[in-house]
Structure 1
Amino acid sequence: MPLPPLTSYRHDRRKRALITLAGAIDLDTVPLVRASLERCLRDGIRTIDVDLTLVTLCDCSGLNAFLNASRRITAAGGTLRLHHPPRTLVVMLDIAGCELLLLGVPFGQLSPPPGYTPVTTAPVPPHRPVPPVPPVPVLSGGAV
């Protein structure tokens, strides 16, 4: 089943913009994300909020676009904040250690998107050290 195309809607209020994205952010659709964020900068917008509630997928190309935009917006004296990111993006942000940069709050303190049901997992048993393997004697001269 093909993924839905990405749509972008922008609502401005003075020097602040809310960009609402819906659909999948991937290699094919990330140019729309980049263009939307770049257009805000060109228009003098310095506070950009991105609502990702309706985003079904965001791959690493989307993460890269958000990180590059954040760098450029910060350099221009502004801020970029992502709201209600899909789970895959939250995990990528957490692994990359940049959730504070884009989300403004630590990973564990994010409010879940509407309708989100947390996944429960079994507790992980404590790590037990593996006993050392005894050395194997080396034989010299010929086949074993």
Structure 2
Amino acid sequence: MPTTVLPTLHVSRHDIRNQALITLSGEIDLDTAPLVRATLERCLHDGIRAIDVDLTDVTFCDCSGLNAFLYASLRTAGAGGYLRLHYPSPAVERLFAITGSGSLFLSLPNPLAGSVPAPQQPSPFHETGDPLAAPALALSGGAVW
């Protein structure tokens, strides 16, 4: 009998004042999207109103993951905050392109319009020089919701 390997998702959270950096690594699908949703919801519960999510190491994301980000974005905006997605992997970029949802999360160039992303203010994680957070946000071009 073949062995079934369940997708895995690793989540880390780093807070500075009322801001959080969430780093996701692995696959976001029907099985792991509840973890994404709970992590982002926990930020709001803890008083975090500025949430940055690093997607560099996300190898797969389906509509369940997209729904988790949409839900978190609405909830965060409703609480007076924002959710920004940074450095989407090609898999995540493709999902956003297929669904047309990239403009909700990302400042990506639009190949049809020939636009370029707007300059982004550095995150407070970048300013701290924290060796755990700085590499994830040191590259410019993060996304803005």
In the superposition, the TM-score normalised over structure 2's length comes to: 0.68
The match for 2:20 among 6, 17, 21 is 17
In structure 1, stretches of 5+ residues that fail to align are: 114-144
Tell me how far 1:25 sits from its aligned partner: 0.6
- The structure with higher relative contact order (CA 8 Å, sep 6+) is 2
Distance, in Å, in 2 between the alignment partners of 1:4 and 1:68 is 22
Query: Using a 3 Å threshold, how does the CA distance of structure 1 residues 2 and 85 change in structure 2: closer, same or farther?
Result: farther
* 1:57 and 2:66 correspond: no
Equivalent residue pairs, number: 110
Distance in structure 2 (CA, Å) of the matches to 1:62 and 1:44: 23
Query: How is 1:22-41 mapped onto 2 (pairs within 5 angstroms)?
Result: 22-41=25-44
* Paired amino acid for 1:106: L
Q: Which moved more, 1:84-93 or 1:74-83?
A: 84-93
Secondary structure at the aligned position of 1:37 is classed as helix
Helix, strand or coil for the counterpart of 1:64?
A: helix
Quote how far apart the aligned CAs of 1:81 are: 0.8
Q: Classify the secondary structure of the residue corresponding to 2:76.
A: helix
* Residue 68 (structure 1) shift: 0.9
Whole-angstrom CA distance in 2 between matches of 1:89 and 1:9: 18
- Cα pair distance change 1:71/1:43, threshold 3 Å: same
Write out aligned runs for 1:1-144 (5 A): 2=5, 4-103=7-106, 105-108=107-110, 109=116
Read off the aligned partner of 1:56 and give its amino acid letter: T
Q: What's the secondary structure of 1:45's corresponding residue?
A: coil
Deviation (angstroms), 1:75: 1.1
Structure 1 ranges of 4+ moved more than 2 A: 1-4, 94-98, 106-110
SS in 2 for 1:23: strand
| TM-aligned CA distance change 1:84 to 1:3, over 3 Å | farther
Partner Cα distance (2:68, 2:47) in 1:
19
* Identity of matched residues, %: 59
TM-score of the two chains, using structure 1 as the length reference: 0.69
Following superposition, the deviation at residue 2 of structure 1 comes to: 3.7
Cα pair 1:16 1:46 within 8 Å, conserved: yes
Deviation at 1:4, TM superposition (A): 4.7
